[in-house]
A and B are shown apart, each in its own frame.
Chain A
């Protein structure tokens, strides 16, 4: 039964991940004043990439990178409960808690660093360095917010955190914490102004520079699933989770649209600027939020 549940969760995350990615391309196209591709475009892309032929090898370490990343994303999805009640779609959340999830979020980028490092491409290495630097700065405010939420609920368990919000969601109870988490969430999603990692005008596509074919497809799928996991995490921590699948879709959709629109009107900060910004504003918000608890 559990296995079936896990499979279902992965399928939902995969499907919605790609749907949201397609939606992202569509929405930003509307902001640009054009129609954009069809919703299923990202599916076509990933299938095409899966059947492409590889032209290069850089040794097994290189291929391990995307695999570690993908497993990080999969685990992340499995450890976050989709719903705040009932038996189904809970995944492994009874075996782990928020702290595990926060750890798992770092796994992917680290794995990628290993793989990219062995390709020897300077742009890839630069992208990874930027990614890790930014990650450090992103985590500080997010952890602060997560700690605040945990203190408030008195537990690190997702079920209890969501239960504690049944009267008032954390977003309104602790707006400062929410703001801190939301800003670093934008960064986790790779949206402007924190998209320095894969800035095409600077480092081609950063960490993905040397990947082609199947491994690029793997990277795409994992990033789609991973962003769904991040949406879930935000919904669970600050919006009290979802009673049923419909509510889940609605909540993640709103969050996603907000992130997309914000991302399309800001210029990209350079690495130093984004670290500076993240350390300053959201971290401060988080600290003040913690103090007000």
Chain B
């Protein structure tokens, strides 16, 4: 095996261990429950949405992992952005994300959310979702197979259990100015109300 790989892997695992040990038992238990019950809001923004039904139905049966689809943003923990976003869609995606209650996570599905993918030179799609919303987990591929999506969920479970402060929703609160600036640059004057008002009283 490649030499440099093991120490790197080791460092990742050590980090995870140290994060774990700083959590109290109750925090760990809560994180476990969070990781094993994920309510998903699958926003079919792009063609990636077509691999969602197989993932959620009897062939791949992701409900085994505790992943269930829900209908409204209010009830969801995880937002799946399944593919390219035009600005018009992105507005709705941001709206949906801001309506979700914390803790919340985003999975970006497909190359289009990473760097524009097939539509790298299109005039009407965004190229990098992470500029506008904090993406917790990317699943690459065009289109990603259901297995890839399941692996994304498993990795996200690990991330939720680590309960780190890097989680997207915390980033979105602390670095809101950055995301907001990007959104404003894209939407011009037609932007939505500021998200900050929602967490005015919170301890940041």
List A residues at the B interface (Cβ < 8 Å).
Answer: 25, 29, 32-38, 41, 44-45, 47-48, 51-56, 200, 204-205, 208-213, 216
Contacts and interface: CB of A to CB of B under 8 A. Distances in A.
Interface stretch (B28-36, B80-88, B114-122): B28-36
Given A32-B57, A36-B63, A53-B101, A211 B33 contact: no
Nearest to A54: B101
Q: Which secondary structure dominates chain B's binding surface?
A: loop
B61 A29 contact: yes
B58 A213 contact: no
A36 B72 contact: no
Contacts of A216: 74-75
A55 B75 contact: no
30 contacts: A29-B63, A34-B57, A34-B63, A35-B61, A36-B64, A37-B64, A37-B68, A41-B36, A44-B36, A44-B37, A45-B39, A45-B66, A45-B68, A47-B37, A51-B30, A52-B77, A52-B102, A52-B103, A53-B102, A55-B74, A55-B100, A56-B99, A205-B75, A208-B75, A209-B71, A210-B72, A211-B74, A212-B74, A213-B101, A216-B74
A210 B101 contact: no
Nearest to A25: B63
Contacts of B57: 32, 34
B64 A55 contact: no
Contacts of B137: none
Given A44-B36, A52-B101, A209-B72, 15 more contacts: A34-B58, A36-B61, A37-B63, A38-B66, A41-B36, A45-B66, A48-B37, A52-B102, A52-B103, A53-B101, A54-B101, A56-B99, A200-B71, A209-B71, A212-B75
A210 B68 CA distance: 18
A208 B36 CA distance: 22
A38 B37 CA distance: 11
B66 A205 contact: no
Contacts of A200: 71
A28 to B, nearest CB: 10
A55 B99 contact: yes
Contacts of A212: 74-75, 100-101
B10 interface: no
Nearest to A32: B58
Nearest to A119: B74
Contacts of A41: 36-37, 66
A204 B101 contact: no
A138 B58 CA distance: 33
A241 to B, nearest CB: 35
Interface in B71-109: 71-72, 74-75, 77, 99-103
A205 B71 contact: yes
Question: 10 smallest A-B Cβ distances: which pairs?
Answer: A34-B58, A55-B101, A34-B61, A212-B74, A44-B37, A200-B71, A33-B58, A204-B71, A48-B37, A212-B101
A105 B11 CA distance: 58
A211 B39 CA distance: 14
Nearest to A26: B63
Contacts of B167: none
B198 interface: yes
B70 interface: yes
Contacts of B63: 25, 29, 34, 36-37
A53 B102 CA distance: 5
B111 to A, nearest CB: 29
A54 B74 CA distance: 9
Contacts of B34: 48, 51
